[in-house]
Amino acid sequence: MAEYETLTEALLGLIAEPPTDTEVLPEIIQDARPEDLADALLRLEREERVLVLNYVDEDRASQVLVELPTEEARALLSQLPDPVIAHFLDILPMDDAVDLWEELDPERFHRLLTMIPEEDAQEIRRLLEHPEGSVGRLMTERFFWTPPTSTMSQLLLDLRQASDEKYESVNDVFVLDRQRALVGVFSLRRLLRSNPYAVAEDVMRTDVITANVKEPAEDAARRMSRYGFYALPVVDDRGRMVGIFTGDDAQTVLREEDTRDVLALGGVSGDGDSYLGSNIWSLFRRRIVWLLALFIAETITGMVLRHYGQNGGEDLKLNPLIFFVPLLIGAGGNVGSQVTTTITRALALGEVGTRDAVRVLRRELVVATLIGLTLGAVGFARAFFGWSSGLGMSGVVGVALPAIVIWSASVGSLLPLAAKRLGIDPAVMSAPFISTFVDATGLIIYFEIAQWFVRLGWLTITV
């Protein structure tokens, strides 16, 4: 049995038989790393996650929260006690702690700040003063800096004696003058290899690339990526250095932006949230907006067919069922593209694996049912009220749309996982295949439903 399955089963057992003391937690849970616990926790329902986090001690729960996708950790906060959240807030990097401001009631957030060290609380308050989405919100003030006159031996002594929390990153040494203006930088490697009695101003580089504290984080992250920096110094409008933008934060920003762009290409709106960390309603809201817009646009094709099929003379007379083919097949293809894009991106980021096929399918069936019912209602109204197609024809459209959408979502969710299992790149295989397959099978579903309506006497076709 795979390790994640064993750990997930242990968590489910913990829920079924709650412990009376945290000391009696199953050994597999006590010995598991926070990263593995977080991965197993994502395979439970949200209510079950809350129960597990309430059963383990505050320190353990906080470490697991750190490893969860940001949006999922945020969603759990309102259901956890203050001591757990305060501990979580304290062990988070300051820039991540700032993000909790948006998820918690302001009164509760300020109360939590009184439960952590005052120095950390003051830093969080300072970061909150910067614009949302700016580098200032994501930077850390705990960087390694020195005056120009410090020797290499003095800096090495400082590093040896510094606590683990004093500096978040020591890849670079930043040289500041008396006004805290940034005048130079040199690497830790340069520090180690230089003469112990050399001073900072003799070994530093003065062509320093910086970011302004108010600058959009994405711009700064792309600059870091371009030059391959581990950290980017952040300065205010007066040129004073106020923090550093670290590589891990830059990678997170770029990953979220790239994910948002990729999903947008597939017709999925919203932020690039973790797939397993997103609830059903979140997935529905992110997809339905584009689907409705595309659905309305595809009625234009139907109008063209309807115009020539009804008014183009006897030679161009068409079966009325044909008028709705672009609408139905387009909706199925769009849903399939959304699902394959979402799952393929989640696979690329390691958010899901082939082992999650059943859970992915179950989630997508629920989302597809909601989308199908919504589109079905809109399609029925469009056919009945907009095109006066009659109750029978409108009923066929209203029933066929949910059926095609659910079928398309099922195929679209399993296709990338199957490709991954077979060692084929899901991004190469899924998108082209889904359109062709859904078009053919969608037509079968549509016409079978129409035949069913005819046999029941609910629809009469007149050409």
The span from the CA of 409 to the CA of 339, in Å, is 6
- Point out the residues of the chain with pLDDT beneath 50: 1-4
Burial 329-353 (b: 16+ CB within 10 A, else e): bbbbbbbbbbbbbbbbbbbbeebbb
Q: Which residues contact 436 (CB under 8 A, 6 or more apart)?
A: none
The answer to whether 332 and 400 are in contact (CB under 8 A) is no
CA distances (Å), origin 132, targets 97, 98, 129, 317, 463: 14, 10, 9, 59, 60
Which residues contact residue 103 at a Cβ distance below 8 angstroms, ignoring those fewer than 6 apart? 74, 75, 77, 78
pLDDT of residue 431: 62
pLDDT of residue 24: 62
Q: Which domains does the chain have, with CATH numbers?
A: 3-129 (1.25.60.10), 143-246 (3.10.580.10), 266-455 (1.10.357.20)
Residue 318 sits at the vertex; the CA angle it makes with 312 and 320, to the nearest 5 degrees, is 120
Task: Give me the amino acid identity at 89.
Answer: L
For residues 396 and 446, give the distance between their C-alpha atoms in angstroms, rounded to a whole number: 8
Q: What is the pLDDT of residues 424-439, one digit of tens each?
A: 888 766 666 777 788 8
The secondary element (H helix, E strand) that includes residue 106 is: helix 106-113
Contact yes or no for 254/290 (Cβ under 8 A): no
Q: In what order do the strands lie in the sheet with 143-146?
A: 143-146, 169-176, 182-187
Q: What is the pLDDT of residue 126?
A: 87
**How far is the C-alpha of 2 from the C-alpha of 232, rounded, in Å?**
41
Residue 22 token pair: 């945290």
AA identity, residue 457: G
What's the confidence (pLDDT) of residue 463? 58
CA nearest neighbour of 413 among 363, 361, 341: 361
Beta-carbon contacts of residue 211 (< 8 Å; ≥ 6 apart): 135, 219, 220, 223, 232, 233, 234, 235, 245
Q: Which two tokens stand for residue 421?
A: 């299992």
58-67 and 46-55 are packed helices; what angle lies between their axes, rounded to 10 degrees? 140
Q: Supply the pTM of this predicted model.
A: 0.67
The answer to whether the CB of 438 falls within 8 A of the CB of 336 is: yes
DSSP state, residue 151: B
Q: What pLDDT score does 2 carry? A: 41
CA distance 302 to 259: 33
In angstroms, the CA 250 to CA 261 distance is 16
